[in-house]
Amino acid sequence: MAQPLIEHIRKLPHGRATLKQLLREQARHGITRPQLEAELTRLAQRGDIVETRSGHYTATGVSREFAVGRLNVHRDGYGFVIPEVPVPGLRGDVYIPKESAARAMHGDRVVARIARIERDGKADGEIVRVLRRAHPTVVGEFRIRRTGNFVVPHDDRIRQWIEIPEDMALPARQVTVDRVGASAITVSTVEDLDGMVVTAEIMDFGEDGGRPVGRIIEILGLPDDFGIDVEILIRSHHIPHHFPDEVLEQARAIPGPISPAELARRRDFRELDIVTIDGETARDFDDAVWVEPLSNGTWALQVHIADVSHYVRPGSPIDREAALRGTSVYFPDRAVPMLPVELSTDQCSLRPHEDRLVLSALLEIDAQGDVVAQEFTRGVIRSAERMTYTAVHGVLEGDPALLERYERLVQRFKWMQELALILNRKRVRRGSIDFDLPEPLLEFNEFGEMTGVTRAPRNIAHRLIEEFMLAANEAVASHLEALEVPTIFRIHERPDPKRVLEFEEVATHFGYSLRGGAAPVKRFKEHVVVALDDVNFTSRNYQRLVKKIEGKPEERILSYLMLRSLKQARYSDRNQGHFALAAPSYTHFTSPIRRYPDLIVHRVLGAYLDASRYEADMRGIAESSSDTERRAAEAERELVEWKKVKFMIDKVGDEFLALIISTTRFGFFVELEDLFIEGLVPLDTLLGDRYTYHENVRKIIGERSRRQYSIGDKVRVRLDRVDGVEKKLSFSVVAATPRERQRNARKR
């Protein structure tokens, strides 16, 4: 009833309706008043409609009066509502002033009343309703003040301090807090809590502008305790990290040995020298591969994926918890797994020399990289070797010791390399974008202390697995789409023209354009838009530019900005293709140990193999999985940035060579070349002249000297300040060497 009703309201003039009008119209369909009122209430709670006054409703997405979306609060208190459904005439977000933003918390899903929309599409408004709270709990520092006890949120975008009544500050008994690398702390009075990091459950959000009230449910330790940063971020992002007892009991009850009956109904691959290839520190192995050339000139590729669906049944306690987590979360020094270790690192993991159940994609690939035949089956394998990227790379590079150690597998790895290159060439031909951005790798000593940041190694062995997994994912996606069964796709939509335009404006300063040929004239922004629309704008435009800047000094910055111009990939129940991969159909099938959508795809494919059908709320699962993926990515990124800032604390006064990666009206951001660490050079630290930001050229220019600072320039900077609270670094420019001045002058 919900969807037809909301569609009906949206089609009415201005998207408005009254209860009396709807009763009259819906009565013809046999819908009673209680049913209609209940449905209208649900639609209002979902944000599809807004009850402007008693019995009067407006559909969001039709009216210019309301916007529904997530509230993003700035550290200074004001915020923006990011609309979920486009609002007529609105371009971008709705600005929410500080007083109104205080009615909700950062991340809440809200309804905003739009006061006005300017001619340029900008708008401001006020929050009229909170639809869903983002923070049932808040982690922060407990502080005792004359006016009461409070928890100051760790996330400074949550502006409200949480009031803690005296009788809710402590658990019912004395608590001993265990701390990694430090002595335990005994907490028996409220005074003992002062300055400690705690988790508070919010009991009252203060709906009418009052202060939120909560109770302490967890004591984590002191702000400087070893490992407290991970604990804080896990809780700040509401990542489930304790498995319920029923989940652990079910995991422990799963029988170890595979039954003869199960083995008998599966294809047996145990005689083949199938291998896993992962990083040195990997503990769970989802995928194993095998390659061999065939007599007709084609290639046989076998991709065997851990059959998690055999052990995790729909609706079981483990399944419900996996759906809640959505994905495993990987921090530099630990992981929060999606599945209990009994499954993730034991029963499901494709450990060497042990029988393991798999779901297999068997592909026959021709010399052009096209799949000419494919088969999917349940199987059993016995991995011949647990290989690492480093070891496989060493074998392919001819390392004598590794050649001897893996003598029986050497030819297999050479075949893998040959097939991977064939698959890669095919992707290049169709326009797949391959950004080769350096990934930072944090280094730690034996005490868990960070010692440096280096470039994560990447070699041909990484390429092997990447190409084989892409091929398997595409094959499964196209197969399920052809079957027309409900499933989940991994989609990547075309970039927003506005973001492409912003990139083009920067690229022109380096003499490049996504169109190819001469760069567009930057002073006529509308011409750039027309030019981009005139060409058949595809991933090839990105691919060609990536190739053109390869090895150039500006490669790092332009690749980074190109990546930012693209939309974020997500899960969907409807196939819309994958722009970056230039793939008409794509899904995630190869990592069911750590990603819930992969497990769902396994169930869909398994049902087909059993001549049955797997039904589930694919749209809901896709949306939830996209949310949990973003949550994990944000937590992982934030911890890495926090670790970097802490690493720099004792380096104040040190000088570094850096690259300018963006310019703003208040200064420019730099990335340190050797450490992949970012920071701000404030405008007021630029001495010897009065510098201003010129938005039309995105440069900071001195009024008298005309000295310029622009994106892509290399500068020498000094670390002036480390803000551990806001996790920010401030730098100042050190006088450039003659060689640096000459290099930047040539670039211009």
Confidence of residue 150 (pLDDT cuts 50, 70, 90): very high
- DSSP, collapsed to helix, strand or coil, labels residue 500 as helix
Mean pLDDT of 653-682: 92
Q: Which of 176-190, 234-248, 260-274, 410-424 has the lowest mean pLDDT?
A: 176-190
* Mean pLDDT over the full length of the chain: 89
Can you tell me which residue has the tokens 């940041």? Answer: 453
116-148 confidence digits (pLDDT tens)? 888 888 899 999 889 899 999 999 999 999 999
Q: What ranges do the domains of the chain cover?
A: 2-59, 66-132, 137-236, 259-485, 495-565, 652-747
> Comparing 137-236 with 652-747, is the CATH topology the same?
yes
339-376 confidence digits (pLDDT tens)? 999 999 999 999 999 999 999 999 999 999 999 999 99
**Does residue 738 register a pLDDT over 90?**
no
224-274 confidence digits (pLDDT tens)? 888 899 999 999 999 999 999 999 999 999 988 899 999 999 999 999 999
pLDDT of residue 58: 85
**Residues shown for the chain:** 748
Mean pLDDT of 268-293: 95
CATH code of the domain occupying 66-132 = 2.40.50.140
Confidence of residue 742 (pLDDT cuts 50, 70, 90): low
Can you name the residues that pair with 141 across neighbouring β-strands? 152, 197
Report the candidate in 633, 568, 629 with the shortest Cα–Cα distance to residue 598.
Answer: 629
Phi, psi values for residue 553, rounded to 5° = -60, -30
Q: Which of 31-45, 98-112, 558-572, 655-669 has the lowest mean pLDDT?
A: 31-45
Sequence-ordered list of residues with C-beta below 8 angstroms from that of 214, at least 6 positions apart, any chain: 138, 151, 162, 163, 164, 168, 200, 201, 202, 203, 204
Q: Which of 76-85, 386-395, 569-578 has the lowest mean pLDDT?
A: 76-85
pLDDT of residue 720: 96
**Does residue 443 register a pLDDT over 90?**
no
Pick the CATH number of 137-236 from 2.40.50.700, 3.40.1280.10, 3.40.630.30, 1.10.1740.110: 2.40.50.700
**Does residue 547 register a pLDDT over 70?**
yes
Does domain 652-747 match CATH 2.40.50.140?
Answer: yes
- N-term to C-term CA, the chain: 62
**Does residue 519 register a pLDDT over 50?**
no
Confidence of residue 183 (pLDDT cuts 50, 70, 90): confident
Q: How many CB atoms lie within 10 A of CB 155?
A: 20
Sequence-ordered list of residues with C-beta below 8 angstroms from that of 400, at least 6 positions apart, any chain: none
